[in-house]
Structure 1
């Protein structure tokens, strides 16, 4: 079996993504850059690369910038999970463009999670990992200390499942995914509870 941190093994990048999706807000490159820089630091991502089909040592790193996101579509790296396993990870920006909010999605592919044995589905209607949820919530809280954002959502392919204006600062009572909701200068976390 190949390493879950190997870029060339495309099975590591397969089957969808477990995400921390951050609604940055307006289409301001400076805000997205602030969240991106804070994210890379808070998650302690190793490297920043434009291609996921060549190993890190086989390519030059790229700057961790909005410009690199625009050029390559995704930024890739490696991250150490809470139990110590090194896995591939990535980030993509979803630009609103028409006045809607911009999003920044940090993701761990399920293919890599399968290789390290992280359970993320137990028959409930939604994929869920308490270990990943807690870790991604802590990453989001660290990001918020230096780069505010409108909303964070945690779970399987959660980007765009709701938005800050719909929630209006209120944490849903019943939650199929995790929420990071700013309330003034405080970030409130509501774990998935269904």
Structure 2
């Protein structure tokens, strides 16, 4: 079996199974606080800018908003709930002056495939309760240090909803996981359809 933690193996990369976080502002300082808290909560090993070199073949980069802007993604390795080490990444979608930024932490589906993690039914359903709950746990830990407006968990979910539309209410039918704060408490509604 090939190594799901290898950067150079391009088959490890691809679409992301992700935790998408609506930051709540477009301020670099807020994004930095959230990025630092997320990286720590996920227990990411290293912080790198290139996926064409293994971690021991490149210098680490600072885990900063400036590095995100320079490289587009920050890359590392993370221990999955299965115990396996896999590549992971993070990117920011900047909202401009009128909107909120998003911070997306992801494990590429290519790496998940190599770990044997089942997340797709072969037709239309992209879901892994194990990965969903793990990502929700990372969000819960992150929220303790850096509150945010909304978290979404699942395959390619970033921007799939926004906090203002939800008005502090979890949808009854959820095609993805929702992490929605209300009164300083982060509530998790797992995907249920």
- TM-score band by shorter chain is over 0.9
- The separation in 2 between residues aligned to 1:76 and 1:40, in whole angstroms, is 10
SS in structure 2 of the partner of residue 25 of structure 1: coil
Deviations 1:149-194 (A, max 9, x none): 0000000000011111111111000000000000021000000000
> Paired residues, what number?
193
More divergent stretch after superposition (104-113 vs 91-100): 91-100
What is the CA distance between 1:123 and its match in structure 2?
5.5
Equivalences for residues 1-194 of structure 1 within 5 A: 1-14=1-14, 16-122=15-121, 125-194=124-193
How far the C-alpha of 1:125 sits from its partner, in A, is 3.9
TM-score normalised by length of structure 1: 0.97
CA distance in 1, matches of 2:122, 2:66: 40
Contact 2:37 2:145 in 1 (8 A): yes
Confirm or deny: 8 A CA contact 1:4 1:112 kept in the other structure: yes
Equivalent position SS for 1:107: strand
**Displacement after TM superposition at 1:121 (Å):** 1.6
User: Runs of 4 or more off by more than 4 Å in structure 1?
Assistant: none
Q: Secondary structure at the match of 1:189?
A: strand
8 A Cα contact 1:7 1:53, kept in partner: yes
TM-score w.r.t. length of structure 2: 0.98
> Over aligned residue pairs, what C-alpha RMSD do you find?
1.0
Q: CA deviation at 1:124?
A: 7.1
Q: Which runs of 5+ in 1 are unaligned?
A: none
Structure 2 unpaired stretches of 5+ = none
